[in-house]
Amino acid sequence: MDEIDFPLPDGRVLHAYDSAPGDNERAVVVWHHGTPGLGTPPAPLDAAAEELGIRWISFDRPGYGGSTPAPGRTVGSVAADLTTVLDTLGIRRCAQLGYSGGGTYALGAAALLGDRVTAVATLAAIAPYPDDTAKGLDWYDGMIASGLASLHAAADGREARLANEAVEYDPEFTAADLAMFDGPWGWLGSVAGGPHGPDGPVDDDCSYVQPWHWATITAPTLLVHGTADRIIPWSHARWLAENLPAATLDIRQDLSHITILDQAEPALRWIRKQIG
Radius of gyration for the alpha carbons in the chain, expressed in angstroms and rounded: 17
The phi, psi pair for 9, rounded to 5°, reads -55, -30
pLDDT at 264: 98
Of 90, 3, 15, 95, the residue nearest 54 (C-alpha): 95
CB burial readout 132-164, b (16+ within 10 A) else e: eebeebebeebbbebbebbbbbbbeebeebbeb
Q: Which residue has the higher pLDDT, 242 or 166?
A: 242
The CATH number of the domain holding residue 9 is 3.40.50.1820
> Residue 138: pLDDT above 80?
yes
**Longest CA pairwise span in the chain (Å):** 48
Which domain, by its residues, includes 191?
A: 2-275
How many CA atoms within 13 Å lie on the side-chain side of 223? 27
pLDDT at 192: 82
Arithmetic mean of pLDDT, 129-147: 93
Q: Which residue has the higher pLDDT, 62 or 133?
A: 62
Strands 13-18 and 94-99: unpaired
Angle, helices 75-89/199-208, rounded to nearest 10 degrees: 110
Q: How many domains does the chain have?
A: 1
Strands 247-252 and 27-32: unpaired
Contacts of 273 (CB under 8 A, 6+ apart): none
* DSSP state letter for 237: H
For residues 270 and 108, the answer to whether their CB atoms sit within 8 Å is no
Average pLDDT, the chain: 95
Q: In whole angstroms, what is the distance from residue 160 CA to residue 10 CA?
A: 26
pLDDT at 169: 65
Arithmetic mean of pLDDT, 250-268: 97
Q: What tens digit of pLDDT does each residue of 165-203 get?
A: 877 666 778 889 999 999 999 999 899 866 778 999 999
Arithmetic mean of pLDDT, 40-66: 97
Arithmetic mean of pLDDT, 207-219: 96
pLDDT > 90: percent of the chain = 91
| Cis preceding linkage at 9, omega within 30 | no
Q: In whole angstroms, what is the distance from residue 209 CA to residue 12 CA?
A: 23
